[in-house]
Amino acid sequence: MPSTTSITRPSRSSRQSKTTCIPGKLECAAQAKILAQKRRIPLATKYNVNTNGAAAPATTRISLPRTLPRPVLGEVDLASLAHAYPNLTGVPAEYIRDLLPSSTSSMRAALQAVKTSGVCSSSLPKELEIIMNDTVAAACPTHMLAVYNDASLGFGQKRHVSLFPMHDLVLRVHCARLPTLPLSQPSTSSPSATIPVVPFCLSSPETFPLLHAYLYTQQPATLRTSLAYPCESASDLLQLATHASKIHGLWRNACTLGVVDPQLYDVIEASWEHTLSAMQACS
């Protein structure tokens, strides 16, 4: 499970540098902008506003894009993959992705068993020490992702950061737009191991656990269940709008990282369509 911490508000210059921690432009950005301006579905709902002690109806409008454009699916950086894993030199990334789910059960168990020490709540360290046990040693994570967004902070506010242990092989074979990952081969023969902390700037940190889990399991049915309607009746428009925000956040993260799995986008697109249809039905 991810742990959380907070870091103090960085200076203006450091904020500018962090926004470029994930290189590359999204091919879907221009399409998304056009959709946002020209192809949006207006949805109306009512809510109560208490002004003089009595409930009065008011109307707010929710505007959402009709579709979530699928990014151009390139391939991952094979040179970077081979540099980190020389034994995989010349092996197609698609072949590795196909075989990976059969060997990730021990990886997922290790993630659940990870415990850290020496976490400072006021600043983000460059490395973290994880406690070694039999489960972790069987498939030790290579990196700790420090996931955050670059939203503006008020004076004195602290930025919220969520920590996710991760195996870089999973990231390298699935994501075509990774930030630079330092090489890491933690020793499993000691009582603890030190792994690098990698700042991960994403627009929707709160939905990263969904993507994190999918990259390990590659089970579209499980993700589809996670993106099902939040209520059986699907009659609460505001609740559905919140659910749509969850799907949209997952899509933004997948585009940012350049996830190359087409099944992921199949699930996102179907879930988005079903949610918008439910919103239209009850608006």
Per-residue pLDDT, 1: 52
Quote the percentage of the chain above a pLDDT of 70. Answer: 73
Q: Which tokens belong to 5?
A: 């911490």
Count of positions (residues) in the chain: 283
Question: What is residue 237's predicted lDDT score, i.e. its pLDDT?
Answer: 82
Parallel, antiparallel or unpaired: strands 143-148 and 158-166: antiparallel
What confidence tens digit (pLDDT) does each residue in 136-161 have?
999 999 999 999 998 887 887 788 88
Q: How far apart are CA 65 and CA 63, in angstroms?
A: 7
The pLDDT assigned to 153 comes to 78
181 or 55: which leads in pLDDT: 181
Buried b (16+ CB within 10 A) or exposed e, 211-239: bbebbbebeeeebeebbebeeeebebbee
Q: Each residue of 37-69: pLDDT tens digit?
A: 434 444 433 333 333 444 444 455 677 888 999
The structure's pTM equals 0.76
- To 10 degrees, what angle do helices 105-113 and 208-217 make? 140
Residues 96-109: tens digit of each pLDDT: 999 998 889 999 99
